[in-house]
């Protein structure tokens, strides 16, 4: 009951929610595969009977009439024809099985794809405060590992349990029809399987819990190591980093060994049980002085059924092992998708920016920290240029986050043309904004793709980008590159300088053609001359510009300059 409530029911709900059209077809195909598996076992019985009881075919009136339709000359030709039909059936069964396996795998990983997409969307639409507190390694596991694990270890494993259970029940029913004694021996064979699974299921859950805890930690260590390449080598801390990752890897590998050992032990255990069952049956037949014909028939039926029944039991137990080890996957995915579904929704409203942006008595504090901003009051007219300076950690970047709508003031109001910047208008307001952070993100693509912020160059306005590049003084740099704007930057743009990275990010902001440009410490990687040249270019633009910087020497290019100090703003 707990297995059904905690795993089966939530998994069915997730599968039905993600794929409402393919589910019924999959169910039909699973029943078809079960039927074919049962028929493959049933087809062995006539062959065994034909060998032990040659008169069997002539004793059944309906079978005798069926045989008379075909031009068989003797019993031998009937047997040969039967063997050919059975062989043809197995070929058809194999082809059909390949198709069904491919379909259910496609179904399972199709669900994984949709879940992964929803988890990515959830991360991109979450509040900034939630994003700020989360572990990137943990979210990477959630987006990449959880959906794939759900497909492989839950959906496919559950369909395996369903198919093999139906096959096993069908085999037992057929055996009971043919011979009650063989049914008894096979029934006894399945009992140890149940007891073995019950004995180790708690251990399997523990393995899953430890894997859930340690995988994110390992990824976090590896990502941190890659990001700290220079520091690790200059401080000669390679051994320290390797030791940390090696310890976690060793711990996870031990779990894999333990899990694989359980799987292997289970399969070998049941194969041994099947062999012992056959031995017990032979001993029984000897003690009961059964005739040769009866003994051959009974052993043949048991062996034919056992050939299919033992693998069924093995597959059921192996699938249950997978499900139990990955039980946390179902819980985690359900929790995250339900949290997404329960997010508070707002009826979006439009907002326009024609006159001014105002901060009215705005105060803000991060959770469990002292107040960072205290009753800020300032305004900026459309088209004006504003510089905000102050020491590191004074809250300059927080002002931009408040203005972008990623943070909400504890008190006070941010207004656009007198309209409060509340949740209903944030999406509309953000369409007016371009943003250049201190450390802009570049993707592993061409310069053209990075400026346009697209996944491909298709549809990108190359002429517009060429003009932007020229206006930002990047033309001479691009001429040195092998493919100009089409040059691939590499992962995270590590192959270019900080100044080039900033110029690309500014080109991106200008390409978006928004009314307001927000700049966060964009001159931190530039020398004094380059900083002044870049700011001179930006402040000549018609857009509203707000620059956050620690460099007060840039104030001469701006209409207004403010100093943020101890949570308060004052004019410079």
C-alpha 507/C-alpha 420 separation (Å) is: 30
Which among 2, 10, 4 has a CA at the least distance from the CA of 337? Answer: 10
Q: With residue 137 as reference, give the H or E element that holds it.
A: helix 136-140
Q: Is the pLDDT of residue 200 over 80?
A: no
Q: What is the pLDDT of residue 309?
A: 73
The mean per-residue pLDDT over the stretch 343-372 comes to: 84
What pLDDT score does 342 carry? 44
For the chain, counts of helices (H) and of strands (E):
23, 10
pLDDT digits (tens, 9 = 90+) for 178-196: 667 666 766 666 677 667 7
Q: Is the pLDDT of residue 49 over 70?
A: no
Question: Which residue ranges make up each domain of the chain?
Answer: 11-338, 356-442+496-571
11-338, CATH topology level: ABC transporter transmembrane region fold (1.20.1560)
- Whether the per-residue pLDDT at 2 is higher than 90: the answer is no
User: What pLDDT shows up at residue 356?
Assistant: 95
Q: Do the Cβ atoms of 569 and 380 come closer than 8 Å?
A: no
- 11-338 matches 356-442+496-571 in fold: no
The CATH number assigned to the domain with range 356-442+496-571 reads: 3.40.50.300
- pLDDT for 368-395, tens place per residue? 788 899 999 999 999 999 999 998 888 9
* Edge-to-edge strand list for the sheet holding 560-565: 433-436, 516-520, 544-549, 385-390, 560-565, 568-571
Q: Which of 51-60, 110-119, 125-134, 538-547 has the lowest mean pLDDT?
A: 51-60
How are beta strands 516-520 and 568-571 bridged, if at all?
unpaired
Q: Identify the band that residue 221 occupies on the pLDDT scale cut at 50, 70 and 90.
A: confident
CA 500 to CA 484: how far, in whole Å?
14
């Amino acid at each position: 009951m707990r297995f059904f409530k905690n795993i089966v029911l939530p998994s069915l709900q997730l599968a039905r929610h993600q794929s409402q059209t393919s589910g019924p077809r999959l169910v039909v195909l699973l029943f078809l595969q079960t039927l074919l598996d049962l028929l493959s076992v049933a087809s062995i019985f006539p062959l065994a009977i034909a060998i032990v009881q040659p008169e069997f075919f002539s004793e059944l009136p309906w079978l005798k009439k069926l045989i008379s339709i075909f031009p068989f000359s003797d019993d031998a030709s009937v047997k040969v024809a039967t063997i050919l039909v059975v062989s043809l059936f197995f070929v058809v069964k194999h082809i059909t099985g390949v198709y069904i396996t491919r379909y259910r795998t496609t179904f399972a990983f199709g669900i994984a794809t949709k879940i992964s997409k929803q988890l990515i969307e959830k991360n991109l639409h979450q509040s900034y405060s939630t994003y700020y507190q989360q572990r990137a390694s943990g979210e990477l596991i959630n987006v990449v590992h959880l959906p794939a694990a759900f497909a492989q270890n839950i959906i496919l494993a559950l369909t395996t349990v369903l198919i093999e259970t139906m096959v096993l029940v069908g085999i037992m029913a057929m055996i009971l029809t043919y011979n009650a004694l063989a049914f008894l021996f096979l029934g006894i064979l399945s009992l140890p399987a149940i007891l073995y699974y019950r004995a180790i299921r708690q251990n399997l859950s523990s393995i899953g819990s430890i894997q859930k805890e340690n995988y994110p930690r390992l990824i976090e260590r590896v990502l941190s190591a890659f990001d700290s390449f220079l520091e690790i080598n200059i401080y000669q801390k390679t051994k320290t980093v390797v030791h940390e990752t090696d310890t976690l890897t060793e711990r996870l590998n031990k779990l894999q060994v333990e899990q694989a050992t359980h799987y292997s032990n289970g399969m070998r255990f049941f194969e041994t049980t099947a062999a012992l069952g056959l031995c017990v049956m032979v001993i029984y037949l000897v003690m009961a002085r059964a005739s040769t014909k009866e003994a051959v028939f009974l052993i043949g039926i048991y062996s034919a059924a056992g050939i299919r029944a033992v693998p069924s039991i093995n597959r059921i137990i192996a699938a249950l092992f997978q499900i139990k080890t990955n039980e946390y996957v179902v819980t985690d995915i359900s929790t995250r998708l339900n949290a997404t579904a329960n997010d508070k929704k707002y009826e979006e409203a439009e907002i326009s920016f024609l006159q001014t942006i105002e901060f009215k008595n705005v105060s803000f504090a991060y959770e469990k920290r002292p107040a960072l901003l205290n009753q800020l009051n300032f305004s900026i007219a459309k088209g004006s240029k504003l510089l905000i300076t102050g020491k590191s950690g004074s809250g300059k970047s927080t002002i931009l986050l408040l203005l972008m709508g990623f943070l909400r003031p504890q008190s006070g109001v941010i207004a656009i043309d007198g309209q409060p910047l509340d949740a209903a208008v944030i999406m509309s307001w953000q369409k007016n904004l371009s943003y250049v952070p201190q450390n802009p993100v570049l993707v592993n693509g061409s310069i053209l793709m990075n400026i346009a912020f697209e996944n491909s160059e298709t549809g990108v306005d190359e002429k517009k980008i060429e003009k932007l590049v020229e206006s930002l003084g990047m033309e001479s740099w691009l001429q040195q590159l092998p493919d100009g704007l089409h040059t691939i930057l590499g992962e995270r743009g590590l192959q270019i300088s900080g100044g080039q990275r900033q110029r690309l990010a500014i080109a991106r902001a200008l390409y978006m053609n928004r009314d307001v440009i927000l700049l966060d410490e964009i001159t931190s990687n530039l020398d004094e001359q380059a900083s002044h040249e870049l700011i001179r270019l930006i402040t000549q633009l018609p857009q509203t510009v707000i620059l956050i910087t620690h460099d007060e020497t840039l104030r001469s290019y701006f209409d207004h300059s403010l100093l943020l100090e101890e949570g308060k703003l004052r004019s410079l």
